[in-house]
Structure 1
Amino acid sequence: MDTDYKQQIIDKTIQFVRQKLEGEGSGHDWWHVYRVYKNALNIVASEEADEFIVSLGALLHDIADFKFHGGDTEVGPRVAREWLESLSIDENTIKQVEHIVRNVSFKGAKVKSPMETIEGKIVQDADRLDAIGAIGIARTFAYGGYKERVIYNPDIKPELHETFERYKNNESHSINHFYEKLLLLKDLMNTETGKKIAEERHKFMELYLQQFYDEWDGGK
């Protein structure tokens, strides 16, 4: 498959994903996918990996997120496969992209989400980077509003979920999400590039939380 043809496939996939997700209001919209795609291209430049598979995995990683399909973790891989088959993509590439889509998501503090390939690890890092820092904070509250969750309730403590079932059924307040997921991601990054970027975004979240608590208690 030559470079020009691969780019045509990527361009068609961009159009497909944008049409499907644009305007979604929970923080899992087209622009989230766009940022993950750009993050992934940044990371792959420092890794020995197949950029075509990384690109397709990043673009299709949230094409049908389990959070919006009754917790069904197979709907995303299925939609990704159907799209790639419609473009006559080879089976090996489809299987690799399916693996990425199936395993990319965080599923609980004590639940492993393994990636078998460097391509998958790159996309996973790229997705996790968009969950932390300034954009991650914005997305947390966008999703909390979408789910009609309160911003903060100091009487409800965070839970480090031991199973995916408990994690996906969690209905806690938005601030708890920092402790149940976002602040854990820095130490779960796979690549050196991902780790470096995550360090700065992690620090920003810690500063944000300190300011939040100061204001909550009538301080600064």
Structure 2
Amino acid sequence: MTNLVSGIVLAEIAASIGDVSRANILSALMDGRALTASELAWHANVSAQTASGHLAKLVETSLLAVEKQGRHRYYRLATPEVAHAIEALMAVASTGPKRYRPVGPKDEALRNARTCYDHLAGRLGTAITEALTAKKYVVLSESAGALTDEGHRFLCDIGIDLAPGQDHKRALCRTCLDWSERRPHLAGHLGAALCTHMFEQGWVERIKDSRALTVTSVGRNGLKEFFDIEEQS
């Protein structure tokens, strides 16, 4: 059952996010992977002891979940809804007051292709979304979407697994407003399945120490053949 949200609870969650180090920790986990406390301390540029306090606060407010494997504890975003909230805040922040900051290669790589929790974002994510809607494989409405019968056949034919799996309550098709492109990209179970397929087929690879992705030569061929998408630049 979903809890009713009071102003106090909302303010508590906002306060948990509203710290630079904690915001950096949450951003680092937006690629959907689980990281150790030491890895997250590096991303937040704080000591291990300071990171431990921040992580405890984020777990306490149910923004992060922690898993134990042997001597190690791994932290991840608690739910897809947390990822949607962070992406939405990034979209709001991107339209805020302009501050001069030279654009570097990491910025461009993130804008080109990245993971947004467990689905694809950036130019790559929005291009795939637009390709599927243009072919009427997916029909989008505000913050939601529907997979057509023709779209289901197409995706199954190219080997994308649309079975619900363990997370059977998750929406099949929904959208996120992409903070860099200002257009929607696919989320939900469909978005996650597309992302998983592209990793398994070697179409995309992770860029070290970033949630940015690079499209491989195999991926460029696949995007052109199945989605009629030219190389992302």
Same fold at TM > 0.5: no
The higher-RCO structure (CA 8 Å, 6+ apart) is 1
Greater percentage in helix: 1
TM-score by length of 1: 0.29
